[in-house]
Amino acid sequence: MMERKADAKPRSGLDVLVAGAGYVGLAAAVSLKQARPGLAIALVDAAPAGVWQRDGRASAIAAAACRMLDQLGVWAEIAPQAQAITEMIITDSRTSDPVRPVFLTFDGEVAPGEPFAHMVANRVLNGALRANAEKLGIDIIEGVAVQGFETNGAGITVHLADGATLKARLLVAADGVNSRLRDMAGIKTVKWEYGQSGIVCTVAHERPHNGRAEEHFLPAGPFATLPLKPGEDGTNRSSIVWVERSQDAEKLVAGDDLVFEHELEQRFGLKLGEIRVADKPRAWPLGLTIARAFVAPRIALAGDAAHGIHPIAGQGLNLGFKDVAALAEVIVEADRLGQDIGALDVLERYQQWRRFDTVQMGVTTDVLNRLFSNDIGPLRTVRDIGLGLVERMPRLKEFFIRQASGLSAGTPRLLKGEAI
């Protein structure tokens, strides 16, 4: 892909300021700058420089997001370090059950040779986007938080914690689920906690996973095994997302390593041979957070700042990339037409595009979690019959695969792999 650069403008004359230099913030800045090189764009991030390099987690990147990353010119760098998910199986059982019957299986392709998802190390994804942002001349200001802002008819004035002041036409808030900018803008949220926490760690195992992902629905919450690329020493590895009741999760990660490995083995099993925990397990509380509005005058929310959902469907990051693709398409079109890219009527097009899909996904993950994270006999029977029916209906399975891959109706152009 051709590298395009524009003359840098002073920070006081920015077109777009993105708050948050995670994947969503970086992708938003890169997609806008690549499509409209004349836009002056900067990123500001509260995290200290280099923190992203110590992130040991990995994320599931859906096929549509892979197409977008390819269009942004970074997938070629990421692909050699990405693990394709070639198969997905779903079971519903108790931890003590000696056998876990498979109720639903998906092969891993949305098109010949195109897996519906890849597992990518977070630091690899962040590093590739960051390198491309720097090539495009996007200024990245690290270790400084946004302290406040005020809007006027022509733009927004942003005050940083170090005393600097930036002026822009549009502020994109990609500062996470506990977004300070969302609160500063007076945007309320629909929010509740699940009483669950997600435990994340990397597991080394004796035998190869062959690209298979598994999700076991257990009474306390889902237990997902996601395939990773082998380590530099050839070690077979998988990423674990283990949902447990919060008080139990806290005890597990803070307790004895042998107890943790025993409980992990009870859920993981020995199908891949002997296992060991390859890094420090971490846990975070799970809840549902959806902003009541995705925009305010001169401000657009994206990623977790707009929505935080349960990981049961593995769609959190991919929802953020959908936000990026939709916002970029709206802003680029407005700029080509000579419209004010920060005007509320322009931003409302983005909100109309993304809000229904987000609420729908939030409700879906909420219902799935409530339906499967229990041990109620009649519910177990109903959900297992439902899974069995889906398994026997190829067209319905194909529909679910396309939904999981991010290639549903109304997909923005970047997610189709098309330029904007």
Is residue 1 over pLDDT 50? no
Is residue 399 over pLDDT 70? no
* Alpha carbon distances (Å) from 414 to 15, 65, 134, 213: 21, 8, 20, 26
- Residue 10: the pLDDT is 38
% of the chain exceeding 90 in pLDDT? 74
3-state secondary structure (DSSP) of residue 183: helix
The contacts of residue 187 (CB under 8 Å, 6+ apart) are 291, 292, 293, 296, 301
Tens of pLDDT, residues 205-228: 999 999 999 999 888 999 999 999
For every residue of 273-308, DSSP letters joined together read SSEEE-S--EEEEEEEEEES-SEETTEEE-GGGTEE
Is residue 109 over pLDDT 80? no
Tens of pLDDT, residues 352-376: 999 998 998 899 888 888 888 877 7
Which residue type does 266 have?
A: Q
Using pLDDT thresholds of 50, 70 and 90, give the confidence band for residue 125: very high
Joined tokens for residue 110: 């949305």
Statement: the pTM of the whole predicted model exceeds 0.85: yes
3-state secondary structure (DSSP) of residue 144: coil
Strand partners, 242: 199, 223
Joined tokens for residue 189: 């949220």
Tens of pLDDT, residues 253-298: 999 999 999 999 999 988 999 999 999 999 999 999 999 999 999 9
Tens of pLDDT, residues 292-347: 999 999 999 999 999 999 998 788 899 999 999 999 999 999 999 999 999 999 99
Q: Which secondary-structure segment (H or E) carries 391? A: helix 377-391
Is residue 414 over pLDDT 90? yes
Strand partners, 168: 156
End-to-end Cα spacing for the chain: 14
3-state secondary structure (DSSP) of residue 224: strand
